Structure 1
Amino acid sequence: MQDAMADVLPDKRQVALSFSRAAAQYDGAALLQRQVADRLLGRLPLQDPQRWLDLGSGTGYCSRALARRHPQAEGLALDLAPGMLRHARTQGAGARHYLTADAERLPLRDACCDLVLSSLALQWCPDLHAVLAEARRILRPGGVLAFSSLVEGTLAELRQSWAQVDDQVHVNRFRRQAAYADAAAATGLQVLALDVEPERLHFPDLRALTQHLKAIGAHNLNQGRPQGLTGRQRLAAFTRAYESLRQPAGLPATYQVIHVLLRKSLFKGCCASAKRR
């Protein structure tokens, strides 16, 4: 099934390069990412996996949490950005194996994992259906796929402020909630949870916001983004528009976060080829 966002999301090579470059400073700026990861980890069903996969593992925050929670399990960390994996290896106990690979084509055999977890990574994948189909393929019967991602409405303040200046693409685009619901349903997995909740950060000024986005590798990567420098008048108009949204805590930046938990059926008819390693 063709993903409607495939033609507008950034090229995967640009995503990998951007996040590799951001690896060294990522953890210092990733407050939202840690908050979302903690919420996702807190939603996991009580089970003790033999093998887990941290999909889009970044600098390894979730990998280290899973390793602490399941010290006897074999952990795999997979990311498209080699720079992120290199940094993750330096951060202490986490995954046992680190794989540079594409989530749409996992280099893993069928039915080899009990848990696939992905926090704030799937929004960068052009073919969501392929990612979820791959996750389903590698799950053992009874295994769980748990992920968080960003949906339409994320960074609405940024988008709204630029819209008062021009009609160019200044803000990363994200799928609608319905697209995730449709993709989840298409897997045939049991839906344990699927909901969206906002997370809001505040910044003292626009410079702090743009530095934050750059530090986590999430600055504007979309196709159709402006090339070259932005003129002073346009920047001034943008700043005035964003400043009109200022709250007592600072300039708001709202992220719309979707959390999805799916479970693979235990029925042998659905998973006849599943064999433990």
Structure 2
Amino acid sequence: MKDAAFNQLTHARRYFEAKSAVYDENARGWYGRLTDALLSQALDLSVFSRLPDGFRFLDVGGGAGRWTERIATANPESSGVLLDVSPGMVRHAERRATRCGYAHRVRHINGDVDEAGELLAGMTFDLIINTHHLLGFFHSPDLVLGSIVPLLTDHGLMVSVLPSRWHAAFGDLSVGDAERARRSLSGLSWEAHEAPYGHLFTPGEVRMLHTSSKLTVDLLTGFPCLIYPDPPGVASPSAESAEDFLRDDTFFREVLAMETELLIDPDAGARGANLFVVASRVQPAEA
């Protein structure tokens, strides 16, 4: 079962280790900044207010620690663990924690997601977050999710950001590749993207995935919904690209405001480039 569930780990490890060698916080561009701002808004609106004081969190697949930093600095009484498959990314995250002053509250571990139960034995978390499409890197996301659910407290929250199957097909068609779009719509690897994706998701599949792991989906939405990145390697047909438009501060703030309004609309998941999911344990029915 382990081989079937985690057979993408080798590919993911190589990809992210190579990425860590050239990691640049500023390389995400303006579209990346918009996406980060929307995820930050989503966490503020739907997650942090539901957590106890001094909550414990697990940032699984946390990479260079961008979101661990966001959580730890915004919640100074919190503590947690960052787990990532890439030694290089973990080193970046450790340096970030020292620089930002929360290293004493966050433990950084290099390890595979299938080792989480052993590496974190005896620990439970009020928040488990995976913001880097973690479940999209595996052919069996149900087994991967099921492996980390036991680490969640009874009233804890599982937060995931997942790659959208429909957005992947949109990207394929944007470069004129109908065959690749059909493959994306089947839920298989997104070949148009450099990352080694193994699975893509629809909103309906996300609900079934969480139900099979005995989780209730409290919120399922998507972002961005109104503006998408320019297809890789294809010049924009207009004088300016989406990236260029977002450089304008007024335009950026207007788009952010419109996109933020859509975060509370569950139908936004159908159009979002990323699927955003907040889930909790199924509570037993009262007698």
TM-score, normalising length from structure 2?
A: 0.66
Contact residue 105 and residue 131 of structure 1 kept, 8 A: no
> Number of residues paired by the alignment?
228
Partner of 1:132: 145
Partner of 1:27: 25
Shift of 1:88: 1.3
Aligned partner letter, 1:51: R
Contact residue 149 and residue 258 of structure 1 kept, 8 A: yes
Q: Name stretches of at least 5 consecutive residues in structure 2 with no aligned partner.
A: 184-189, 244-270
Distance 1:26 1:140 in 2: 35
Going by fraction, where is strand more abundant, 1 or 2?
A: 1
Distance 1:133 1:53 in 2: 15
Matched, 1:99 2:109: yes
Moved more, 146-155 or 191-200: 191-200
Contact residue 123 and residue 151 of structure 2 kept, 8 A: yes
SS in structure 1 of the partner of residue 273 of structure 2: strand
Contact residue 40 and residue 146 of structure 1 kept, 8 A: no
Distance 2:149 2:178 in 1: 44
Q: Which has the higher contact order (CA 8 A, sep 6+)?
A: 1
Aligned pair in 2 of structure 1 residues 189, 156: CA closer, same or farther (>3 Å)?
Answer: closer
Matched, 1:176 2:202: yes
Q: Name stretches of at least 5 consecutive residues in structure 1 with no aligned partner.
A: 211-241, 270-277
Give % identity. Answer: 18
Partner of 1:12: 9
Partner of 1:38: 40
Shift of 1:195: 2.2
Deviations 1:141-168 (A, max 9, x none): 1111111111113344541244449769
Contact residue 104 and residue 130 of structure 1 kept, 8 A: no
Shift of 1:113: 1.0
TM-score, normalising length from structure 1?
A: 0.68
Going by fraction, where is helix more abundant, 1 or 2?
A: 2
Deviations 1:59-116 (A, max 9, x none): 1111011111222222200111221111111222356211122224412235611111
Contact residue 192 and residue 263 of structure 1 kept, 8 A: yes
Q: For 1:223-262, what aligned pairs fall within 5 Å after superposition?
A: 242-243=234-235, 246-247=237-238, 249-250=240-241, 256-262=273-279
Contact residue 38 and residue 223 of structure 2 kept, 8 A: no
Contact residue 202 and residue 251 of structure 1 kept, 8 A: yes
Aligned pair in 2 of structure 1 residues 190, 11: CA closer, same or farther (>3 Å)?
Answer: closer
Distance 2:170 2:24 in 1: 23
Aligned partner letter, 1:139: L
1:192 to 206, 214, 218: 218
1:121 to 118, 124, 133: 133
Contact residue 141 and residue 267 of structure 1 kept, 8 A: no
Aligned pair in 2 of structure 1 residues 110, 134: CA closer, same or farther (>3 Å)?
Answer: farther
Aligned pair in 2 of structure 1 residues 201, 161: CA closer, same or farther (>3 Å)?
Answer: closer
Distance 2:138 2:206 in 1: 12
SS in structure 2 of the partner of residue 196 of structure 1: strand
Aligned pair in 2 of structure 1 residues 162, 75: CA closer, same or farther (>3 Å)?
Answer: same
Distance 1:193 1:251 in 2: 28
